[in-house]
Amino acid sequence: MGLKAVTSGIVVANDSTKPRSKTEKTGSKPPPPAANTLPDVDVFQSRSVPNIFAQVPVGDLYRKTNDAALLRFLDEAIAYAHLAPLSSLDDAKLAIYTKSLPKVELHQHLDGSIDPETLIEFARQRGIDLPADTIETLSRPAQKANGRSTLKDFFERFRSAQVVWKDRDAIKTLTVHVIEKAAHDNVKHLELQFSPVGMAECHGLDLEDVVKGVIDGVAAATEQFAIGVRLIVTISRRRSVALGWEVEKLAAKYKDRGVVALGLASDEKAYPADEFAPMFQAAEKDGLGRAPHSGEDGPATNVATAIKKLKANRIGHGIRVIFDPEGLELVRTEDIPLEICPSSNILTGAAESWAKHPFRVLLDAGVRVTINTDDPGLFGVTLSDEMALAAKHFDLSCKELRTIISNSVDAAFLEGRDKQKLRLQVLTGISEANRALVDNLTLRELLLLAVGGMRREGMPMDQQRKFVEDFMSYLEAAAEGNAAAKEDAATLLA
């Protein structure tokens, strides 16, 4: 089938099935045509995508034509589109795309994953008393009136939420809920971390019962949902060294039941990591991974300390390493992944603003960066949201998102066949998502992305302009059915 047959078939079908709009009936001015004019930028030379092509999805054109010239134009545009910053894409399409990406979550706190409404409703159902000030703390927006929250304010909310961990069954039920939400967000592998001491505190639970409750929840959830889950048992810096040792021993004891690593959380400014170093050295001997929080809002040198003294093989946040040349060199040479949680960093004030967040600098410096949610319930985000926000604010391309998700696969505490299976599943799914993204673009959207990709790659302006010029001339000729001009346009590219 030739190009003309394809496009005219689609356009006729659309026109004949479309109901007449009210404006047409009343005879008033019809709404303006879909914006197919390309932006007023030199490279586009005030050209427009011909009307006949304006609304045809790229996927339809690609599949239904056998016109070699058109396929060449599309292939080149698609290749460049994958290299383009996704910020030119509209929000709805970007959201669909990041949702469709198979994802890996490496930094998510179980005890920060339940949204306030669910938490309050769950407490009501289970007869758990929620004091008025707890409800007030949980319900107020994450950002304070002055537009900035602090990590200290956030810890207060976090502690308020701990009241729901009433017994082993409550822990199991809420763990299932959290995993279900991640599975619905197309997360394929989740490393969920939790602090047994924090969760046990409110109702005086046994630390081991907390661990068992979470493991029960993981077992029940992974039977129902297509997601792999591993656990990181976390020490709280605010607690005693003796409690830290108890947590390390529990992590080691449940290593064969899904616990893969030891974490370290809470206020790094007030509680330095040094005194917890022996627990992390023991974790290494016990065959556990080490993923302490460091360099979130504390001293930049904390990252180097975590790597050298705590034997960290992954860093929670780590964004302040950008201010410590030695630490930065260490994460690069030792290939230590950073579990970056952009929204969390903005909402807690760990990063001053999206514009000043060091994600892009770290990515360009060759650091193995990953994107995570931290506390999706308290911050009101999903991992898909985080990917979309990161793409928009850090000018990420499809190719870069693929690298970032691959980084997460590489950094996951999985071994052998489990990791190979995840890698295959994720990379196959990303290719499908990339294809679906392009298939649903209009030609105008594809061209905007393609030119963005050409710029990113440093293609000279005259070459960008020539590509657009040739493509548009070809489309115009095809639209007019002018066979001779169509031949000319095709010959230009041959």
> CB 316 → Zn ion: shortest distance, Å?
5
> CB 284 → Zn ion: shortest distance, Å?
21
Stretch that binds Zn ion, among 113-121, 147-155, 304-312, 370-378 (CB under 5 A): 370-378
Stretch that binds Zn ion, among 148-156, 369-377, 444-452, 466-474 (CB under 5 A): 369-377
The number of residues making up the chain comes to: 494
How far apart are alpha carbons 356 and 348 in whole angstroms? 14
Number of residues that bind Zn ion (CB under 5 A): 1
**Residue 268 interacts with Zn ion (CB under 5 A)?**
no
> CB 489 → Zn ion: shortest distance, Å?
55
User: CB-wise, 52 or 340, nearer to Zn ion?
Assistant: 340
Phi and psi angles of residue 48, each rounded to the nearest 5 degrees, phi first: -125, 150
What single-letter DSSP state applies at residue 381?
Answer: -
Show the tokens assigned to 174.
């809420």
User: CB-wise, 268 or 324, nearer to Zn ion?
Assistant: 268
User: CB-wise, 59 or 380, nearer to Zn ion?
Assistant: 380
User: Given CA atoms 438, 393, 388, 189 in this order, what sign does their dihedral have?
Assistant: positive
Whether 208 is a known active-site residue: answer: no
Which residues make Cβ contacts (< 8 Å) with residue 415, sequence separation at least 6? none
User: CB-wise, 201 or 374, nearer to Zn ion?
Assistant: 374
What single-letter DSSP state applies at residue 88?
Answer: G
User: CB-wise, 77 or 315, nearer to Zn ion?
Assistant: 315
DSSP H helices, 322-460, are: 325-333, 342-348, 359-364, 376-379, 383-393, 398-411, 416-439, 443-456
> CB 57 → Zn ion: shortest distance, Å?
40
> CB 349 → Zn ion: shortest distance, Å?
14
Stretch that binds Zn ion, among 168-176, 367-375, 442-450, 459-467 (CB under 5 A): 367-375
Among 374, 385, 400, 476, binds Zn ion (CB under 5 A): 374
Which residues make Cβ contacts (< 8 Å) with residue 127, sequence separation at least 6? none
**DSSP assignment of 116-176, as one string?**
HHHHHHHHHHTT----HHHHHHHHS-SS-TTS---HHHHHHHHHHGGGG--SHHHHHHHHH
> Which is the catalytic residue, given 296, 339, 386, 445?
296
Q: Say whether 352 sits in a helix, a strand or coil.
A: coil
Stretch that binds Zn ion, among 119-127, 194-202, 256-264, 371-379 (CB under 5 A): 371-379
Which residue, judged by CB position, is nearest to Zn ion in the bound state?
A: 374
How far apart are alpha carbons 347 and 349 in whole angstroms? 5
Which residues make Cβ contacts (< 8 Å) with residue 17, sequence separation at least 6? none
Stretch that binds Zn ion, among 30-38, 77-85, 372-380, 413-421 (CB under 5 A): 372-380
Strand 259-265: give its sheet, edge to edge. Answer: 103-109, 187-194, 228-236, 259-265, 289-294, 315-317, 338-340, 369-371
> CB 296 → Zn ion: shortest distance, Å?
7
User: CB-wise, 191 or 374, nearer to Zn ion?
Assistant: 374
Q: Which residues are catalytic?
A: 296
Question: Site residues (CB under 5 A) for Zn ion?
Answer: 374
